[in-house]
Amino acid sequence: MLIIVLLLLSVLFIVISTTQFKLHAFLALIIAALFYGICSGMPLAEIISSIEAGFGGTLGKIGIVIIAGTIIGTFLEKSGGVYALAERILKTIGKKNVTPAMALIGFIVSIPVFADSGFVILTPLNKTLTKRAGLSLATTAVALALGLMVAHTLVPPTPGPIAAAGILGADLAKVIMICIPVGLVTLLFAWFWASKVASRVHIDPNPELTEEEFTSHLKNAPSAFRSFLPILIPIILIVLRSVADYPVLSKPEGAPPLAWEENNLYHFMMFIGNPIIALLIGIGLAVTLPKKFDKQMLSTTGWVGEGMMAAAMIIMITGAGGAFGKVLQNSGIADVIGEGMESMSVFGLWLPFIAAAAIRASQGSSTVAIITTASILEPLLSTMGLASPLGRALSVLAIGAGSMVASHANDSFFWVVTQMTGMDVKTGYKLQTTGTTLMGIFACTIIWIIGLIVL
């Protein structure tokens, strides 16, 4: 119980120190990591190495992605491209449909693209659409974030669901057949939460932008098609990478290498589809958007410099969140939770959900929660009556639903969402943390009802 209490105290410290005492989130997260590590009895050297590994590992995965995405956003905004794109989309879908559209776009994009990257890529467009539609940024950003989270945790070829299917011996075709309708129904909750709850919090997406300035930006803007390319091309490249890697990820464990793995085309697709390379290509396309190109745009005082300055704060806080999460992970908190679950097999499909939710809330990563929970529960499937092909497929989805729960301070996605939208930590817990928790419960309820019918 000690480490669970310490986790709760650490989270409470982060919330109170950042909201009541205005402590910078970076310092709050590092202090919380040190407090938890020392009080939980971790060796002092391991605490430091965990902080370094968590900070560096998180930035290694998402740091360049955030920088590249922010630079693309800067070029889209300064060139007027994002305004042309927003105008075209609003004419197509109407101002009243921006919120459900962002939830659906997030769902589609996150099937091949990690949620963090998807949010970074789509934020410039989302902000402009929101301003043009006269909505609060909290509404559309939460819709986008929850839509991204649904596919990220439920729908292959996202790595988590694929890994869980492999560990539990589930038929991937059955998982896909069930996860798509479950995911789309879960999106209804995302829409409801964003439009009914998040909409009560007003965040101006661009307080400086007036109608006259919007019209002025449109005059010199590139076409909507050209403006869409820096967003679309990276997404397509990442999708192609997922398609190329699908046979490799889904092959049986211990099987010999496939001929496709040794093909030069496979390695090329894996390279250009890496989010870092894909977004660097996106920068190359974004540079062509200005009506009159000036090399000063690429300097430290130009558009590139502005984009990097905007990304710096997000990167530091996101890295600190990764450090906090790594200390929790290395403290063995997932093992403690797993041991406590072995006597709870009577809960059926709710057990995978509870286990994944507890591990996700404790260490931050939904992918780690999915893989860890699948490993813990694999020997328990027969006892729980879930050893049938459909039982295994539903268990994968129940684990995925649990891994949605409680996106908070130890989750890099929480900081990407809050920092890129201007939410304070208290609002982030109210909208993002509570929203993901209730959405996970909603998703598992649907999965449980399906289980009652088919098992």
With a pLDDT cut of 70, the percent of the chain lying above it is 93
252 CB-contact burial (10 Å; exposed 0-12 / middle 13-18 / buried 19+): exposed
User: Which runs of E-coded beta strand occur in 149-209?
Assistant: none
**The length of the chain, given as a count of residues:** 455
Count of helices and strands (H, E) across the chain:
22, 0
Average pLDDT, the chain: 85
**The pLDDT of residue 86:** 72
Whether the pLDDT of residue 103 is over 70: the answer is yes
pLDDT of residue 131: 87
pLDDT attached to residue 341: 56
Tokens 């090329």 sit on residue: 268
Q: Are 455 and 391 in contact (CB under 8 A)?
A: yes
pLDDT, tens digit, 9 for 90 and up, residues 358-374: 888 877 778 778 877 88
For residue 91, what pLDDT is reported? 80
- DSSP annotation of 255: P
Are 133 and 342 a contacting pair, CB within 8 Å?
Answer: no
pLDDT tens-digit map of 124-154:
888 888 988 889 999 999 999 999 999 889 9
pLDDT at 395 over 70: yes
Is the predicted pLDDT of residue 343 greater than 60, yes or no?
A: no
Q: Nearest 5 degrees, angle CA 265-CA 268-CA 270?
A: 110
- How many CB atoms sit inside 10 A of residue 294's CB? 10
pLDDT given at position 113? 67
Return the higher-pLDDT residue of 90 and 417.
Answer: 417
Q: What is the pLDDT of residue 149?
A: 94
pLDDT at 71 over 60: yes
Q: What tens digit of pLDDT does each residue of 194-229 get?
A: 999 999 999 988 766 666 776 777 778 888 889 889
Pinpoint the alpha helices (H) of 287-388.
303-330, 333-341, 350-363, 366-377, 381-384
| Rounded-to-integer distance, Cα 53 and Cα 167, Å | 26
User: Strand, helix or coil at 251?
Assistant: coil
Task: Look at 416 and 11; give whichever has higher pLDDT.
Answer: 416
Long-range pairs, 256-265, Cβ under 8 A, ≥24: none
Give the pLDDT band (50/70/90) at residue 339.
low
CA distance 365 to 103: 21
**Angle, to 10 degrees, between the axis of helix 350-363 and the axis of helix 434-454?**
160
- Has residue 78 got a pLDDT over 80? yes
Ramachandran area for residue 41 (φ above 0: left; ψ -120 to 50: alpha; else beta)? left
Q: What confidence tens digit (pLDDT) does each residue in 148-187 have?
A: 999 889 987 676 787 788 778 888 778 888 888 999 999 9
pLDDT tier at 46, thresholds 50, 70, 90 = very high
DSSP-derived letter for residue 388 is S
The rounded radius of gyration (Å) of the Cα atoms in the chain is 22
Q: What pLDDT sits at residue 199?
A: 93
Q: What is the pLDDT at residue 344?
A: 54
**CA dist., res. 91 & res. 89, Å (int):** 5
| 340, pLDDT greater than 70 | no
Kindly tell me if the per-residue pLDDT of 345 is higher than 60.
no
Q: Is 115 left (phi over 0), alpha (psi -120 to 50) or beta?
A: alpha
| pTM for this entry | 0.74
8-state DSSP, 331: T
Q: What is the pLDDT of residue 209?
A: 66
- Is residue 371 within 8 Å of 162, Cβ to Cβ? no
Average pLDDT (412-429) is 90
